[in-house]
Amino acid sequence: MRFVLALLATLLVGTALGLAATRWTASNRQGFSAEQAGPWIAWPKAGTSEAEPYARAFQARTGYVPLGGGDGVALFALSDSDGRPLEGNCAYDVGGAVPAARFWTLEAFSPRGRPVAGPLGRLGFTSAEVMHDAAGHFMVAVSPQVRPGNWLQVATPGRFVLVLRLYETVLSASAFSLEADALPAITRGACR
């Protein structure tokens, strides 16, 4: 009797753990075969027919639409260039070089992917509207309080994610290599 009960418990516990693991990864992990450079992470194959099972499960569960392989690359930053998580009560300078692309956009989201724009209503910047310096570099100030120049207001008490999307870029899903120097740096300023 004790043996049968233990067998049943084993089956139940194993099944519950397996399902819980699936639920957690499908809700939280875009995939495991990520490419990283500095603070930026990309899953270049997520929007191709070669997408890994974890990427497919994430898309099926969350409704995320990845960029198609030829369309470009989405780079996610969960932390600044020093590795500290991006916090809604801190000011950040995001700037530097951007790999060659037809267009790019920079937007801020909650960790679940909802916009965290402030009352100003701006959801992000595009390459066409951001102000550049003479060398072609740009600087976007991401902060809760007003800043001069390109200002992206973030209104969230918690953590947030920056997404840099490069459309029709020199980086491609098949020959993908990222270098931190070629991507914008994320520098933390004052925190409240």
Partner 1 sequence: MIFALPFFLGAVLIAVMVHLASLLALPGFATNDAYARLGRNAPIDQVAALTQAQIAALDLPFYDRSFETAVCKYDLSAGVLRLRAPSPDTMLLVTLIARGGNVYFSVSDRAAIKGLVEVLVGTDAQIEQIEASDKDDEVLGELRVRAPKPQGVALIRVFAPDETSKARAAEEAAQASCQIETL
Residues that bind partner 1 (CB under 8 A): 6-7, 9-11, 13-15, 17-19, 21-22, 25-26, 46-49, 51, 53-54, 56-57, 59-71, 74, 76, 102-103, 105, 107, 109, 112-115, 123-124, 126-129, 161, 163, 165, 167-168
Nearer to partner 1, 99 or 187 (CB): 99
We find the least distance from the C-beta atom of residue 48 to partner 1, in angstroms, to be: 7
Dist CA 12 CA 58 (whole Å): 25
We find the least distance from the C-beta atom of residue 100 to partner 1, in angstroms, to be: 15
CB crowding 93-108: b at 16 or more within 10 Å, else e:
bbbbebbebeebbbbb
Nearer to partner 1, 39 or 47 (CB): 47
Dist CA 89 CA 19 (whole Å): 36
For 37, which DSSP code? E
Nearer to partner 1, 126 or 145 (CB): 126
Nearer to partner 1, 61 or 188 (CB): 61
Amino acid, res. 164: L
Dist CA 77 CA 85 (whole Å): 9
